[in-house]
A = this chain, B = another copy of it.
Amino acid sequence: MAKIGFIKLGNLGMSQVIDLVQDEIAAREGISVRVFGTGPKMGKDEAAATAELKAWGADFYVMISPNASAPGPTAAREIYKDVPCIVISDGPTKKEDRAALEEAGFGYIIMTVDPLIGAKTEFLDPVEMASFNSDAMKVLSTCGVVRLIQEELDKVAAMADEGKELELPHIVAKPEKCIERAGFSNPYAKAKGLAALHMADMVAKINFPACFMMKEIEQVTLTAAAGHEMMRAAAQLAIEAREIEKANDSVFRQPHSKKGYLMTKTSLYEKPKQ
């Protein structure tokens, strides 16, 4: 049995499904999941509130938030520093900051490919926000990021289940690393997926000035819109990549058995095998 606690501060693309990826049909035995989230905000108050889930006594925690170096996530880590906890975020991107995380005992998966949204009142409303998250999830799911997260969390859960000491992951999930997990069999599908990841990665470089530096309405909205168009184009490439695999009946699938081990299958009509 593994008890896994998810703490969600603010929102990343991956936040949408991270608590679901280990039990996609809700039939897996030997795993128990609890989620505590603070909605869109990730300030100090929210950080303090996360203490609540600690009482549950999970085997390990997964703390997901944008920018793990921000004050809120930093404060939240203070609370969880004495229990096994994996930080999942789009930063810190600096090596030394990640080393500090590791020294403090945290595992981490830093996904530079989880794209920064164009978070300006002049552009973003709830519909645009949700629509952007849909595009982000299309890339994250089909280009290897979801599988990377799932495999790494499964590894730790297996250790917990077996009563072993937990070895937490320390991974920088750059495009080149993610794409290897995607399981593409056609090399051009893989190349499209890799390009999509690079584009998701690059969205932050466009949206960052829109979010934090620009003031003038035309510049802000044009730039954020360009960021979202790039994300849309990335999603489209990811779709194309998967369509190629479908056309070859070579979609790699890795469902969980009821007992929790991973099975694999490739041809659609094939039974999953351990």
Q: A interface vs B, CB < 8 Å?
A: 4, 6, 8, 10-11, 16-17, 19-28, 32-42, 45, 49, 52, 119-131, 133-135, 137-138, 140-142, 146-147, 150, 186-192, 194-195, 198-199, 202, 205-206, 217-218, 221-223, 225-230, 232-237, 239, 242, 244, 246-249, 251, 253-258, 263, 265, 267-272
A134 to chain B, nearest CB (A): 4
Closest-by-CB residue of B relative to A197 is B226
How far is A86 from B101 in the complex, measured between Cα atoms in Å?
A: 40
The one of B198, B205, B269 that contacts A206, using a Cβ cutoff of 8 Å: B198
A230 contacts B33, C-beta separation under 8 Å: no
Which residues in B have their C-beta under 8 angstroms from that of A33?
37-41
Number of copies of chain A assembled together: 6
Closest-by-CB residue of B relative to A33 is B39
B146 contacts A141, C-beta separation under 8 Å: no
B24 contacts A40, C-beta separation under 8 Å: yes
Which residues in B have their C-beta under 8 angstroms from that of A233?
195, 199, 233-234, 236-237
Which residues in B have their C-beta under 8 angstroms from that of A129?
17, 20-21, 24
Closest-by-CB residue of B relative to A119 is B25
B242 contacts A244, C-beta separation under 8 Å: no
Given A39-B33, A134-B134, A229-B192, are A25 and B121 also a contact pair (CB < 8 Å)? yes
Given A131-B142, A137-B133, A229-B195, are A35 and B36 also a contact pair (CB < 8 Å)? yes
B187 contacts A268, C-beta separation under 8 Å: yes
Which residues in B have their C-beta under 8 angstroms from that of A249?
186-188
A269 contacts B221, C-beta separation under 8 Å: yes
Given A137-B133, A249-B186, are A268 and B24 also a contact pair (CB < 8 Å)? no
